[in-house]
């Protein structure tokens, strides 16, 4: 059992109500965010626990970057390590943009 499945099971056992769409878990030290698609692919992000919801970011990485750079790449074999430079470069750029937006100081 992988960590994503184990954590989802753990959270569901602790919850007083049924959890239909498990997408994040906060601990004292970190925030665990997961975006899962019907094919079973999971994008997981560990971040500081104070940060907001990452579902939009993970969805954008899947729809805008993964689908273009990885799933449509004839050299990629499903279920293997993603060693595609354009995917890595675009994810790094997306995180840089996200980080600037999240940590932007309000104008006074």
Identify whether the C-beta of residue 34 lies closer than 8 Å to the C-beta of residue 3: no
Which one of 3-7, 15-19, 36-40, 63-67 scores highest in mean pLDDT?
63-67
Identify whether the C-beta of residue 23 lies closer than 8 Å to the C-beta of residue 35: yes
Is 107 a member of any domain? no
Is 55 a member of any domain? yes
Q: What pLDDT, in 10s, does the model give residues 28-73?
A: 888 888 898 888 888 988 888 777 778 889 999 999 999 999 999 9
CATH number at residue 98: 3.30.450.70
Give pLDDT, residue 23. 80
Q: How many domains does the chain have?
A: 1
Phi, psi of 55 (to 5 degrees): -60, -40
Residue ranges making up the domain that contains 86? 3-102
- For every residue of 57-76, DSSP letters joined together read HHHHIIIIIIIIIIIT-TT-
CA 102, CA 4: separation in Å to the nearest integer? 25
Nearest to 35 by CA among 18, 10, 55: 55
């Amino acid at each position: 059992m992988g960590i994503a499945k184990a954590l989802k099971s753990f959270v569901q056992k602790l919850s007083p109500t049924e959890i239909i769409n498990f997408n994040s878990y906060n601990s004292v030290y970190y925030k665990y965010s997961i975006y899962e698609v019907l094919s079973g692919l999971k994008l997981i992000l560990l971040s500081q626990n104070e940060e907001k919801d990452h579902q939009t970011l993970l969805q954008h990485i899947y729809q805008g970057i993964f689908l273009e750079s990885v799933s449509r790449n004839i050299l990629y074999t499903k279920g293997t390590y993603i060693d595609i430079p354009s995917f890595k470069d675009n994810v790094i750029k997306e995180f840089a943009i996200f980080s600037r937006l999240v940590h932007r100081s309000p104008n006074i």
